[in-house]
């Protein structure tokens, strides 16, 4: 049955399940890593594939770090977890990157025996009806909204119920204890000369320092 699931239990899973962790990752932080690991365990996924976004149509008003920096920081951050992988499928794509194209490409690559779940932040998911060909997208894969501590879930739950009935889609909400970290806050700290130690993996911190990222 498709629908909203408030996940609490680990259930044995027969089909292979891969989670796709889509995001800007500018920069990636421990909140993203904790979210990916929580979803992997809770929903019995065999692996999580991190996909830093390439040239997104919805980010026209903000200058992002170069894709190569966001991709490399994601590789450095996930390196120690054997269940995490990073894909350059979006950063290598010319033109705008849409999640639908990414999912179609992954489905072709992995075949029908693998179920795909797309993980993203609750705020990003609230906007999903503005995404490219949302109806097609929601038919192809399930979605997982991860929430920060203290997040007011009422609106999110209502939105997911509405999406479920409108598109007959499968949607999950998962609370992540360590997600009270944000890329925006990290960028602000760097601009203000404050420490980001223990908010991002050490290798990511070193990379940011070496390449002087987020100084302006």
How many angstroms separate the CA atoms of 26 and 176, rounded?
Answer: 20
Which residue's Cβ lies closest to ligand NAP? 121
Three-class SS state of 49: strand
Q: How far apart are CB 118 and ligand NAP at their closest, in Å?
A: 8
78 touches ligand NAP by CB under 6 A: no
Q: Quick one: which of 34, 124, 140, 203 contacts ligand NAP (CB under 6 A)?
A: 124
How many angstroms separate the CA atoms of 79 and 215, rounded?
Answer: 26
**Distant-in-sequence, close-in-space partners of 124: CB < 8 Å, separation ≥ 6:** 23
* Region of 6-14, 69-77, 123-131, 198-206 interacting with ligand NAP (CB under 6 A): 123-131
- Length of the chain counted residue by residue: 216
Cβ burial of 140 (10 Å; 0-12, 13-18, 19+) is middle
Ramachandran angles phi, psi of 95, nearest 5° = 75, -170
How many angstroms separate the CA atoms of 36 and 131, rounded?
Answer: 22
Q: How far apart are CB 115 and ligand NAP at their closest, in Å?
A: 18
Q: How far apart are CB 160 and ligand NAP at their closest, in Å?
A: 15
Q: How far apart are CB 119 and ligand NAP at their closest, in Å?
A: 5
123 touches ligand NAP by CB under 6 A: yes
How many angstroms separate the CA atoms of 146 and 149, rounded?
Answer: 10
Instruction: Compare residues 115 and 151 and give the one whose CB is closer to ligand NAP.
Output: 151
Cα–Cα separations (whole angstroms), residue 131 to 2, 9, 58, 142: 21, 31, 9, 15
27 touches ligand NAP by CB under 6 A: no
Instruction: Compare residues 1 and 51 and give the one whose CB is closer to ligand NAP.
Output: 51
Instruction: Compare residues 113 and 137 and give the one whose CB is closer to ligand NAP.
Output: 137
Residues in contact with ligand NAP, counted by CB under 6 A, come to a total of: 22
Instruction: Compare residues 4 and 126 and give the one whose CB is closer to ligand NAP.
Output: 126
Tokens of 60: 């026209």
Contact at 8 Å (CB) between 170 and 146? no
Q: Quick one: which of 33, 73, 91, 121 contacts ligand NAP (CB under 6 A)?
A: 121
Residue ranges binding ligand NAP (CB under 6 A): 21-24, 32, 35, 53, 56, 58, 98-99, 119-121, 123-124, 131-132, 146, 182-184
């Amino acid at each position: 049955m498709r629908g909203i699931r408030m996940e609490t239990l680990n259930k044995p899973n027969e089909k292979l399940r891969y989670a796709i962790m889509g995001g800007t990752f500018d920069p990636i932080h421990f909140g993203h890593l904790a979210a990916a690991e929580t979803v992997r365990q809770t929903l019995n996924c065999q692996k999580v594939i991190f996909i830093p976004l390439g040239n997104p149509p919805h980010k026209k008003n903000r200058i992002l770090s170069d894709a190569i920096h966001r991709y490399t920081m994601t590789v450095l951050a996930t390196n120690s977890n054997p269940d995490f992988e990073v894909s350059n499928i979006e950063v290598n794509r010319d033109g705008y990157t849409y999640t639908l194209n990414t999912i179609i490409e992954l489905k072709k690559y992995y075949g029908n025996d693998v179920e795909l779940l797309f993980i993203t932040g609750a705020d990003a998911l609230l906007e999903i009806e503005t995404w490219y060909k949302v109806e097609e997208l929601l038919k192809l894969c399930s979605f997982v909204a991860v929430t920060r501590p203290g997040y007011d879930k009422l609106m999110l739950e209502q939105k997911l119920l509405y999406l479920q009935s409108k598109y007959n889609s499968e949607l999950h909400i998962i609370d992540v204890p360590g997600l009270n970290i944000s890329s925006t806050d990290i960028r602000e700290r760097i601009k203000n000369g404050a420490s980001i130690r223990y908010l991002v993996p050490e290798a990511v911190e070193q990379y940011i320092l070496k390449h002087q990222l987020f100084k302006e």
